[in-house]
Amino acid sequence: MPVNGNPSAVGGHAAVPALPFRSVLRSVLDAPATRMLVVVEVFFLGVLAAAGLAQAWSDSAVPAMLIAAALIPSAVELAFNSRCPTWLHGCYFVFLLAGPFVGTQMRLYAFWTLWDKPVHAFSGALVGWATVFALGVACRRTQLALPPFLMVAGVVLAGGFIAAMWEIAEFTSDHFLGTRAQNAGLVDTVTDMMCGILGVAAVAVVAGLHFRGRPSVLIGSLVRSPDIIPPAPPREQR
């Protein structure tokens, strides 16, 4: 007899199980973060279309890159088969709007150079949260329990590496493309790295306290991230 109303065969033909791709696609489309992504992508596409209609090709580079950049959290989810918390998606989209769009596209950096500092600090926090998410997934999949100091060290090392790579990318862009990301020279470079590391350090402290028995809602949601497609239950031995 069929179980839960799903017949195993109809008209003598065996039922075809749902394809994993269809299940993954349905799970991704049903997520609140996907609806958020659609709004962000429509906004960037509108800005890109406006720049194209005005033939302002120099203004089309940033929204074109942001259209691709907005897809990164969803791509990470699919690669890890694990659901990023919705709040992390929202923070990432806020970062794209506050930094590359408002700062560069709307030229806020030219009017208020200090806007760059909170953006770098916020990007450091994002890197820290993403590292906690990745380590949480890895520990759960391998059934390992890393000591708190290793979790904190992983967050700090990842944040420091990304902060350094960011400044290298800005230097490379200034040198080869003629941009002015590092107008203030060494002072701008060092203070940007300091702000990024401060953001990471804040996350590392909260993560360390969480793993030592002082729970944090944000860290807990990253560590307990569910799979997009849960693994099949083990078959009963007969």
pLDDT tens-digit profile, the chain (238 residues): 444 444 444 444 444 444 566 666 666 666 788 889 999 999 999 999 998 898 888 788 889 999 999 999 999 988 888 999 999 999 999 999 998 899 888 888 778 888 989 999 999 999 999 999 999 999 988 888 888 899 899 999 999 899 888 888 877 877 775 666 666 677 878 888 899 999 999 999 999 999 998 999 999 999 998 888 776 665 665 5
Residue 76 · residue 88 · CB < 8 Å: no
Nearest-angstrom CA–CA distance, 192 and 186: 10
Please tell me the total number of residues recorded for the chain in this structure.
238
Residue 167 token pair: 């400044």
Distance CA 208, CA 155 (A): 10
* Cα(215)–Cα(99) distance, integer angstroms: 31
- The answer to whether the beta carbons of residues 63 and 105 sit under 8 Å apart is yes
Query: In angstroms, what CA-CA distances link 63 with 34, 52, 71, 128, 173?
Result: 19, 11, 13, 26, 17
Nearest residue to 206 via CA among 147, 144, 125: 125
pLDDT of residue 104: 80
> Could you tell me which residues are beta bridge partners of residue 10?
13
Q: What is the pLDDT of residue 14?
A: 46
Give the gyration radius of the chain's Cα atoms.
22
**According to the model, what pLDDT value does residue 186 have?**
78
pTM for the predicted model, two decimal places: 0.81
At residue 100, the pLDDT reads 85
Please list, in sequence order, all residues whose beta carbon lies within 8 angstroms of the beta carbon of residue 124, skipping any fewer than 6 positions away. Answer: 159, 162, 163, 195, 196, 197, 198, 199, 200, 201, 202, 203
Q: Quick one: tokens of 105?
A: 């596209």
